[in-house]
């Protein structure tokens, strides 16, 4: 595996995740609706989640950021390639819980077009509107391409886009009844990562922590194109019609310690000094040469 995957890293630390679900606003004859009751709402998106932040310990396996092979010493016009690096990550399943408010509508049925327009422009407040609970669980596999990666003696810094896949499930419960349940759905991951590492192993050179790093990592999924990550569901409107798509943004802040584990054998260091012990019958050992010893025996005295 040498040259392809030389090492993996194990992270141990804490994460803080902000998970937001939103929809694109309803259109009336092609014109986005701006809700009068929510003056601060975005005209492109409408956040429908609440209480969706989670703090917990986490475990993940990944590779150490590595330079693109053959680019470290490039000079001239293509010297910018020497700043590229890559890594991969695999996370264990994590579960998030929260509430959806007024999704896909506030629960009022409408019989005519003007009722629909009125409900969209003047939705009920969250305390009186529709309220659902959700459970979202996924595990992620993704690669990071660091477009700028600085590797110093004790400090590493990198920033770049992320691309990968997630397998997720999502349950939505309303009035103690599960109204939507999707399982083992694939989701394309797009995002951006910022990584800062500090070598704390320099203070423990003779221990197992000789190559341990304290790291700060900020990862954001779904905000590169502003459209978010589409999440499948089976919710219907108050009139029984299909609900508009539900999207997700996930921003994770991680801080902890990562430890590198070598998977390939390190190059053997050539030992200094002679490859064999010195002979014991050399003059330097205090013994006379063999010829002199023979002559003395044949001509005594």
Per-residue pLDDT of the chain (301 residues; tens, 9 = 90+): 334 556 667 777 778 888 889 888 766 666 556 665 554 455 567 788 877 677 766 677 888 888 877 766 777 666 667 788 999 998 888 889 999 998 888 888 888 878 877 887 788 887 888 899 999 999 999 999 999 888 888 999 999 999 999 999 999 999 999 999 999 999 999 999 999 999 999 998 888 888 899 999 999 998 666 678 999 999 998 888 888 889 999 988 888 888 877 777 665 554 555 555 555 555 555 555 556 555 555 555 5
Is the bond preceding residue 104 a cis peptide, omega within 30 degrees? yes
User: Cα torsion at 278, 279, 284, 290 (round to 10°)?
Assistant: -160
Q: Are 269 and 243 in contact (CB under 8 A)?
A: no
Strands, E, within the chain: which ranges? 7-23, 27-28, 31-32, 46-47, 49-50, 53-62, 66-67, 85-91, 94-101, 131-146, 148-151, 155-174, 177-199, 212-221, 229-231, 246-262
CA angle 240, 245, 251 (to 5 degrees): 140
- Which pLDDT score is estimated for 39? 47
Structure tokens at 55: 């703090």
Q: Is 39 exposed, middle or buried (0-12, 13-18, 19+ CB in 10 A)?
A: exposed
- Which pLDDT score is estimated for 3? 47
CA angle 132, 135, 141 (to 5 degrees): 140
298 within some domain: no
Give pTM, 2 decimals. 0.74
74 within some domain: yes
Residue with tokens 């996930």: 250
276 within some domain: no
- Which pLDDT score is estimated for 1? 39
296 within some domain: no
233 within some domain: yes
Reported as half-sphere exposure (CB side, CA atoms, 13 A), residue 113 has a value of: 3
Q: Are 50 and 99 in contact (CB under 8 A)?
A: yes
Q: Is the dihedral of CA 242, 108, 48, 22 positive or negative?
A: positive
How far is C-alpha 162 from the geometric centre of its chain's CA atoms?
A: 8
- Domain span at residue 252 reads 15-262
Neighbours of 29 (CB within 10 A): 6
134 within some domain: yes
Q: State how many domains the chain has.
A: 1
122 within some domain: yes
């Amino acid at each position: 595996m040498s040259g392809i995957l030389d090492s993996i890293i194990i992270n141990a630390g804490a994460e803080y995740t902000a998970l937001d679900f939103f929809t694109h606003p309803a259109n009336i004859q092609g014109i986005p609706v701006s809700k009068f009751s929510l003056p601060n709402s975005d005209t492109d998106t409408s956040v429908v989640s609440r209480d969706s932040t989670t703090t917990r310990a986490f475990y993940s396996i990944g590779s150490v950021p590595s330079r693109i092979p053959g680019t470290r010493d490039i000079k001239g016009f293509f010297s910018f390639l020497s700043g590229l690096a890559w890594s991969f990550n695999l996370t264990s399943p994590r579960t998030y819980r929260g509430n959806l408010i007024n999704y896909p509508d506030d629960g009022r049925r409408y019989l005519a077009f003007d009722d629909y327009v009125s409900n969209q422009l003047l939705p009920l407040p969250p305390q009186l509107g529709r309220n659902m609970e959700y459970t979202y669980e996924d595990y992620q596999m993704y690669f990071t391409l660091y477009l700028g990666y600085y590797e110093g003696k004790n400090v590493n810094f990198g920033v770049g886009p992320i691309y990968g896949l997630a397998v997720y499930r999502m349950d939505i419960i309303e009035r103690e009844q599960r109204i939507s349940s999707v399982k083992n759905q694939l989701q394309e991951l797009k995002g951006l990562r910022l990584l800062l590492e500090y070598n704390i192993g320099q203070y423990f050179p003779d221990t197992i922590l000789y190559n341990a790093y304290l790291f700060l990592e900020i990862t954001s999924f779904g905000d590169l194109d502003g459209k978010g990550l589409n999440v499948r569901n089976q919710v219907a409107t108050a009139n029984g019609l299909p609900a508009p798509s539900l999207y997700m943004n996930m921003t994770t802040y991680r801080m902890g310690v990562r430890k590198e584990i070598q998977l390939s054998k390190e190059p053997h260091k050539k030992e200094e000094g002679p490859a064999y012990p010195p002979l014991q019958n050399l003059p330097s050992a205090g013994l006379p040469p063999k010829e002199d010893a023979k002559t003395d025996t044949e001509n005594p005295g």
